Amino acid sequence: MDEQQQRRPRMRERNKATRLAPDAPPRPCAWPDCPEHGAYPAPRARDALRDYVWYCLEHVRAYNRGWDYFAGMDAEGIDDHRRADTTWHRPSWRFGGNGYGPHGVKMGPNGPWRWRDPLDVMEEGFGAEPPPPPKPPVGKAAEMLAVMQLSWGFTLDELKRRYKALVKLHHPDLHGGDRVQEERLKRVNEAYAYLKDNKLYV
């Protein structure tokens, strides 16, 4: 096997700026009056983080101890810099305020683009498609709705209120043990359980 085949390929080559040619002399340490080699890079300034100054190990440690990225900035400037850092110092704007149109809606050839917003998170539903009307039930669900005397689109609270009212109305104790009322109460109980368990309310 030759030397080229034995070398394992690297996932990522190191930054060319930090490498010296193999025959180049070593860099001197940038610390004043230091005879050591500068093998360790340090950023030159806050606005030139990729422009390096080279130090020996002892002096790069001293440099790092004294390095203050925010030196010379007031509290407001530091806060602004940190906020801009969240978007990689790229321009940004508040949601819905980028000047696309009223309420930040991008205009299309036939007016604003439409979208469905079931949770109503986009400017209180501005531009949202209305949800499709609920389909009326068929089969057993329609039969149970008729027993509960409810129309389609009822809420859980409406179901509970109607159940309490029908239990009071058909309770056999109020009708002297009437079997017809007892059967009606059984049907009401069955319908209530069916509608509630199958979550047919809105």
If you average pLDDT over every residue of the chain, what do you get? 77
Amino acid at 134: P
- The SS3 of residue 194 is helix
**Predicted local distance difference test score (pLDDT) of residue 14:** 46
Q: Which CATH number fits domain 140-197: 3.40.50.720, 1.10.287.110, 3.90.1170.50, 1.20.950.20?
A: 1.10.287.110
Residue 14: CA atoms inside 13 Å, Cβ hemisphere, count? Answer: 5
Asked whether the predicted pLDDT for residue 197 surpasses 80, the reply is: yes
Contact criterion met (CB below 8 Å) for 153 and 135: no
| 161 vs 154: CA distance, rounded Å | 11
Range list for CATH 1.10.287.110 in the chain = 140-197
**What confidence tier does 65 reach under pLDDT thresholds 50, 70, 90?**
very high
Asked whether the predicted pLDDT for residue 102 surpasses 70, the reply is: no
Q: Which residue has the tokens 């008729």?
A: 146
**What confidence tier does 106 reach under pLDDT thresholds 50, 70, 90?**
low
| 21 vs 2: CA distance, rounded Å | 23
Residue with the larger pLDDT of the pair 112 and 175: 175
User: Which residue stretches of 112-155 are H helix?
Assistant: 140-148
**Predicted local distance difference test score (pLDDT) of residue 1:** 47
Residue with the larger pLDDT of the pair 121 and 32: 32
Q: Which residue has the tokens 């806060």?
A: 79
Q: What percent of the chain has pLDDT over 70?
A: 68
Asked whether the predicted pLDDT for residue 100 surpasses 60, the reply is: no
Over range 45-69, report the average pLDDT.
92
What is the C-alpha radius of gyration for the chain, rounded to an integer number of angstroms?
A: 38
**What confidence tier does 37 reach under pLDDT thresholds 50, 70, 90?**
very high
**Predicted local distance difference test score (pLDDT) of residue 126:** 53
**Predicted local distance difference test score (pLDDT) of residue 117:** 61
Contact criterion met (CB below 8 Å) for 123 and 103: yes
Dihedral over Cα of 71, 77, 78, 84: its sign: negative
**Predicted local distance difference test score (pLDDT) of residue 125:** 46
